[in-house]
């Protein structure tokens, strides 16, 4: 028994080791000239590859084996703290064709750790002459159409489509891959690609040049994923997947010691491909079909089953799977009395490959009355593209118990009925009014002007009280203030006497002017003319005016002692002089 | 030159009168639409007047009524609030606001239960900013008259009564000034908002990944405390705070 166990263990270990080994074979080109050399490589890779001697090739009739070389490389990586290693051993054979035509490198059988591996056969076309690149042309820009077939073999774009026969809205992944065996210096997209007839979601766009090795048609290439998109057909029939255009700068090999190398630009694009889009069948289409296409799973759940009136809870419906998650409508909810469903919050999370993801629909539900309720099953129908038929998913019904509650937010169950009671709820609309913008007084200039005017009362009242005090206490000041008033009175009287041609005019003028000047000059009333003149001189009154005053007083004196008086003309002239003089005196600040 | 100026002033007056007449026409049309129970058309016309830049409590009140009739409780509350912002003593708007608040999902009261605070709020809300402006001006006038009298009449007399009365009035004036400042800030504040979407979830942080704090419903009035991208930190009247999405509410402010 023990022996049997050991044997099984040994066999398993051996199997494990053998399983980890991968064999690949490829050539550097599968179209060569009769004068060219061909490199055929066998690559053995795996976690634990033993160091074996170069496999011996069988006898070829069509090729001459010129020599063998071998190389090995190790690659260590640590993922999530786990170290893994990969050893790659390459055995290259240089072969020379012996004639033209189509030949086959036959499958090579290898035995590693007692396990046999066989490589795939490789077809080789041998033509006359050489397929080595021609000398470079003078221009440093060549398009794909005029380049040599060598460039076309070594640099091209390919499109990979995940599925070529699909249903309307069924997503496909389209990968644009660049294959190259040249030294690429730079890459750039040439123009936009217009995906007509599709709803497009970008899956991948490279940020830097990143090549991986891949064997395509028995030839080893450096391959870079240039663009990956998820396309959702929006039309039926034959739809074309458009080409991607690239500008690629290739480093040229230096031809001699002084040639430091140069780059040459090539414009390439892939051949367009087509896919066939079928319509979703109308036969047996369920009524609750919401345009979902793909393959989905449905789950649902609620945040709380034990509730109080007025409480809100969330019903979450999750649809996961592959398909047009962003494009279909949400499943309809059944109506339940006394449960108020609010508009749902919908969020869609899409995985990196875009076809798969999760659509979450959250309904906020408010319990309006106490009681036991059942949230019925929710159905979701989609078109299953694998089974070519409609499929309906169902959630389980959910039981709810709503108790009486006194939460801070109390629901008002009869809200709608109150709204409909016309006139008894809100006040009537305001009519017969002129609608004018109600401006703020604080923003009005007039308002602040009134404030300022009111404020001015304070200095005004102060000045007024000062004036009043002065009038009360200072008799000279009172005389000064009232002098003009008194003079006016006298002059009015004088004016009447002039018209009547009475000699009393001179007496009035003498009294009036004398009193005015005495009051103004703070001299006692009845002062002599000389005293007044002296005081006027002290006030620096102009001499001309002084003379006029003196003349008036003298004339008045004369008139008093003149029995016949003056003629009417003389009186009028004197009145004019008096008026002019008074005007001048008023102008002087006495 | 004088004639030209006169013509200009005349033209300006005529054009403004025509503008006001047009607004009155639209207003009357809106009223008849409302009376014919065509609330949507009435609302359209009232909003047209509002878009002319008219700030009027009656207009806001009527818009609020239209929204109420159209079953949009949140917006009706928003407009009653606006009407009261323009004219705090608009009794019809206050009554309708109270009614609208009474039928929102979340229980809300305008006045608090604290007697002193309730009295203060009542007094504060019953005075509009313009009435307050006139009151302040009148008190200022009285103070100026009293000061003038003291300068003019009572300066040399030993009488404490005028001084006491003046100090009393100055005290009232200072209180009025403070109320003015508070009212002015309230008038220009953009903190208060009304929830317009049927419901909103309050989270403990600005994002749906945070813990849910509360659920509020259309028509609830709250204050905005902070903004962060498309989220706002709000404070409910009951003291509860949380982050809600910005597109669920509208701030009580003039357009």
Rg (CA), chain A: 58
Please name which of A53, A24, A56, A58 lies closest in space to residue A41, comparing C-alpha atoms: A24
Of A411, A451, A457, the CB nearest to B148: A457
Cα–Cα distance, A378 to A397 (Å, whole number): 8
Of B62, B184, B215, the CB nearest to A364: B215
Sequential pLDDT tens for chain A (590 residues): 455 555 554 444 444 444 478 888 888 888 888 878 888 888 888 887 777 777 877 777 778 887 788 888 887 777 666 777 788 888 888 888 888 888 888 888 888 878 888 888 888 888 887 776 554 444 444 444 444 556 677 888 999 998 889 998 888 999 999 998 888 888 888 878 888 889 888 888 888 888 888 888 888 888 999 889 888 898 899 999 988 888 888 887 766 666 666 778 888 888 888 999 999 888 888 888 888 998 899 988 887 777 777 677 788 889 999 888 888 888 877 777 777 777 677 888 888 766 788 888 888 777 777 788 888 888 899 999 888 889 999 888 888 888 876 443 333 333 333 333 334 567 788 876 677 777 888 888 999 999 999 999 999 988 988 888 888 888 888 888 888 888 888 888 888 888 887 778 888 888 888 888 888 888 888 788 888 888 888 888 888 888 888 888 888 888 777 766 677 788 888 888 888 888 888 888 77
Q: What token pair was written down for A506?
A: 């001179």
Q: What is the DSSP letter of A140?
A: S
A411/B151 Cβ within 8 A: no
Cα–Cα distance, B245 to B207 (Å, whole number): 8
Closest chain A residue to the Cα of B46, Cα to Cα: A435
CB A322 within 8 A of CB A353: no
Of B35, B96, B184, the CB nearest to A426: B96
> What's the maximum distance between 2 C-alpha atoms anywhere in chain A?
182
Cα–Cα distance, A434 to B26 (Å, whole number): 11
A447 has a chain B CB within 8 A of its CB = yes
Q: What token pair was written down for A512?
A: 């009036």
CB A240 within 8 A of CB A273: yes
pLDDT for res B152: 79
Residues in chain B: 255
Sign of CA dihedral A571, A573, A575, A578: negative
pLDDT for res B112: 56
| CA B200 from centroid of its chain's CA atoms | 25
| CA B129 from centroid of its chain's CA atoms | 9
List, for residues A279-314, the tens digit of each pLDDT value.
988 888 888 888 899 889 998 888 777 777 767 778
Q: What is the DSSP letter of B175?
A: H
* Distance set, CA B130 to CA A440, A451, B54, B59, B185 (Å): 6, 15, 17, 18, 14
Mutate to test the interface with A, among B105, B183, B213, B230 (most CBs of A within 10 A): B105
CA of B3 vs chain A CAs: smallest distance (Å): 26
CB B115 within 8 A of CB B76: no
CA of B136 vs chain A CAs: smallest distance (Å): 10
φ, ψ (nearest 5 deg) of residue B31 = -60, -45
List, for residues B92-137, the tens digit of each pLDDT value.
898 899 888 888 877 776 555 577 777 777 777 778 888 899 999 9
B34/A465 Cβ within 8 A: no
Mutate to test the interface with B, among A427, A444, A447 (most CBs of B within 10 A): A427
Please name which of A553, A306, A524 lies closest in space to residue A405, comparing C-alpha atoms: A306
B55/A364 Cβ within 8 A: no
The mean pLDDT value for B218-223 works out to 92
Place of tokens 């980890």: A20
| SS3 call for A529 | helix
pLDDT for res B82: 93
Q: What is the DSSP letter of A44?
A: E
More confident residue, A33 or B251: B251
List, for residues A146-180, the tens digit of each pLDDT value.
445 566 778 889 999 988 899 988 889 999 999 98
CA of A481 vs chain B CAs: smallest distance (Å): 21
| CA A215 from centroid of its chain's CA atoms | 44
Place of tokens 């389980």: A396
pLDDT for res A590: 72
pLDDT above 70 as % of chain B: 90
Place of tokens 């307050």: B132
Please name which of A273, A276, A267 lies closest in space to residue A176, comparing C-alpha atoms: A273
Q: What token pair was written down for A146?
A: 């005029």
pLDDT for res A412: 35
Residues in A closer than 8 angstroms to B65, CB to CB, are 426-427, 429
A440/B133 Cβ within 8 A: yes
List, for residues B150-167, the tens digit of each pLDDT value.
887 777 677 788 889 999
Give bridge partners of residue A239 from the DSSP assignment: A275
CA of A289 vs chain B CAs: smallest distance (Å): 28
CB A105 within 8 A of CB A86: no
Closest chain B residue to the Cα of A435, Cα to Cα: B24
Residues in B closer than 8 angstroms to A416, CB to CB, are 71
Please name which of B107, B174, B186 lies closest in space to residue B136, comparing C-alpha atoms: B174
Letter string b/e over residues B44-68, b meaning 16 or more CB atoms within 10 A of that residue's CB: ebbeebbeeebbbbbbbbbbbbbbb
3-state secondary structure B168-222: HHHHHHHHHHHHHHHHHHHHHCCCEEEECCCEEEEECCCCCCCCEEEEEECCCEE
Residues in A closer than 8 angstroms to B57, CB to CB, are 438
A419/B103 Cβ within 8 A: yes
CA of A406 vs chain B CAs: smallest distance (Å): 11
**Listed range (A86-95, A337-346, B190-199, B224-233) with the worst mean pLDDT:** A337-346
| SS3 call for A211 | coil
A312/B58 Cβ within 8 A: no
Cα–Cα distance, A474 to A457 (Å, whole number): 25
* Distance set, CA A472 to CA A438, A465, A476, A518, B195 (Å): 52, 11, 11, 20, 73
pLDDT for res A9: 47
pLDDT for res A146: 43
pLDDT for res A260: 67
B71/A465 Cβ within 8 A: no
pLDDT for res A132: 66
Cα–Cα distance, B241 to B27 (Å, whole number): 41
List, for residues B126-136, the tens digit of each pLDDT value.
788 888 999 99
Residues whose CB is less than 8 angstroms from the CB of residue A589 and which lie 6 or more positions away in sequence, other chains included: none
More confident residue, A247 or B9: A247
CA of A396 vs chain B CAs: smallest distance (Å): 26
φ, ψ (nearest 5 deg) of residue A103 = -125, 170
Mutate to test the interface with A, among B215, B220, B236, B238 (most CBs of A within 10 A): B215
A457/B20 Cβ within 8 A: no
């Amino acid at each position: 028994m023990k022996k049997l166990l050991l044997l099984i263990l040994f066999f398993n270990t051996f199997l494990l080791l053998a399983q980890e080994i991968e064999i690949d074979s490829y050539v550097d080109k599968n179209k060569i000239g009769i004068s060219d050399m061909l490199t055929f490589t066998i690559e053995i890779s795996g976690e634990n590859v033993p160091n074996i001697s170069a496999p011996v090739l069988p006898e070829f009739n069509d090729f001459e084996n010129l020599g063998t070389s071998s190389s090995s490389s190790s690659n260590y990586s640590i993922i999530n703290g786990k170290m893994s290693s990969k050893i790659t051993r390459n055995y290259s054979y240089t072969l020379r064709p012996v004639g033209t035509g189509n030949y086959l490198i036959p499958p090579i059988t290898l035995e590693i750790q007692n396990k046999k591996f066989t490589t795939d056969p490789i077809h080789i076309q041998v033509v006359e002459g050489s397929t080595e690149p021609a000398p470079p042309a003078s221009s440093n820009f060549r398009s794909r159409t005029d380049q040599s077939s060598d460039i076309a073999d070594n640099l091209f774009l390919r499109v990979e489509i995940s599925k070529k026969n699909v249903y309307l809205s069924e997503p496909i992944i389209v990968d644009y891959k660049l294959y190259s065996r040249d030294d690429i210096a730079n890459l750039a997209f040439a123009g936009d690609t217009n995906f007509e007839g599709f709803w497009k979601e970008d899956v991948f766009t490279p940020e830097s040049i990143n090549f991986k090795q891949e064997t395509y048609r028995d030839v080893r290439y450096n391959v870079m994923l240039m663009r990956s998109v998820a396309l959702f057909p929006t039309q039926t029939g034959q739809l074309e997947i458009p080409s991607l255009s690239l500008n690629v700068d290739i480093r040229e090999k230096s031809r001699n010691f002084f040639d430091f190398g140069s780059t040459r630009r090539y414009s390439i694009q892939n051949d367009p491909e087509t896919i066939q889009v079928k319509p979703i069948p109308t036969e047996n289409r369920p009524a609750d079909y919401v345009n979902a296409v793909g393959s989905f799973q449905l789950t649902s759940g609620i945040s709380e089953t034990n509730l109080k009136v007025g409480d809100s809870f969330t019903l979450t419906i999750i649809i996961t799977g592959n398909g047009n998650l962003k494009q279909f409508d949400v499943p309809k909810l059944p109506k339940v009395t006394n449960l108020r469903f609010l508009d749902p919050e919908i969020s869609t999370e899409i995985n990196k490959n875009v076809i798969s993801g999760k659509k979450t629909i959250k309904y906020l539900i408010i319990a309006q009355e106490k009681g036991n309720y059942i949230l019925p099953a929710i159905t979701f129908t989609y078109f299953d593209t694998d089974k070519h038929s409609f499929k309906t998913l169902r959630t389980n019904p959910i039981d709810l118990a709503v108790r009486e509650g006194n939460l801070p937010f109390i629901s008002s169950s009869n809200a709608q009925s109150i709204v409909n009671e016309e006139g008894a709820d809100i006040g009537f609309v305001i009519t017969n009014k002129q609608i004018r913008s109600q401006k703020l007084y604080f923003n009005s200039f007039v308002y602040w002007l009134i404030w300022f005017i009111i404020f001015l009362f304070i200095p005004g009242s102060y000045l007024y009280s000062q004036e009043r005090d002065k009038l009360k206490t200072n008799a000279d000041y009172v005389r000064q203030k009232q002098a003009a008033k008194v003079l006016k009175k006298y002059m009015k009287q004088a004016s009447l006497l002039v018209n009547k041609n009475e000699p009393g005019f001179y007496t009035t003028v003498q009294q009036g002017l004398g009193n005015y000047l005495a009051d103004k000059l703070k001299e006692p009333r009845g002062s002599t003319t000389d005293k007044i003149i002296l005081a006027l001189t002290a006030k620096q009154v102009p001499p001309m005016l002084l003379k006029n005053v003196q003349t008036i007083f003298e004339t008045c004196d004369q008139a008093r002692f003149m029995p016949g008086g003056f003629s009417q003309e003389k009186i009028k002239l004197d009145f004019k002089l008096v008026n002019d003089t008074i005007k001048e005196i008023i102008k002087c600040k006495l | 030159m004088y004639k030209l100026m006169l013509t200009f002033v005349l033209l300006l007056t005529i054009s403004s009168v025509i503008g006001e007449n047009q607004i009155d026409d639209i207003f009357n049309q809106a009223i008849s639409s409302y009376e014919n129970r065509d609330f949507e058309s009435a609302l359209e016309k009232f909003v047209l007047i509002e878009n002319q830049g008219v700030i009027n409590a009656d207009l806001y009140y009527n818009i609020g009524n239209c929204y109420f009739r159209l079953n949009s409780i949140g917006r009706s509350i928003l407009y009653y609030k606006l009407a009261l912002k323009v004219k705090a003593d608009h009794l019809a708007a206050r009554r309708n606001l109270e009614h609208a608040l009474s039928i929102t999902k979340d229980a809300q009261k305008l006045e608090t239960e604290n007697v002193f605070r309730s009295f203060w709020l009542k007094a504060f809300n019953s005075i509009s900013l313009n009435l307050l402006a006139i009151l302040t001006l009148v008190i200022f006038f009285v103070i100026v008259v009293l000061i003038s009298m003291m300068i003019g009449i009572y300066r040399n007399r030993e009488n404490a009564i005028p001084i006491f009365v003046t100090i009393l009035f100055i005290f009232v004036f200072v209180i009025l000034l403070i109320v003015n400042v508070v009212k002015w800030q309230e008038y220009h504040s953009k903190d208060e908002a009304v929830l317009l979407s049927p419901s909103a979830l309050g989270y403990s942080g600005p994002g749906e990944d945070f813990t849910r704090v509360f659920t509020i419903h259309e028509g609830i009035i709250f204050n905005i405390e902070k903004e962060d991208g498309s989220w706002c930190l709000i404070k409910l009247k009951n003291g509860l705070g949380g982050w809600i999405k910005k597109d669920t509410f509208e701030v009580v402010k003039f357009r």
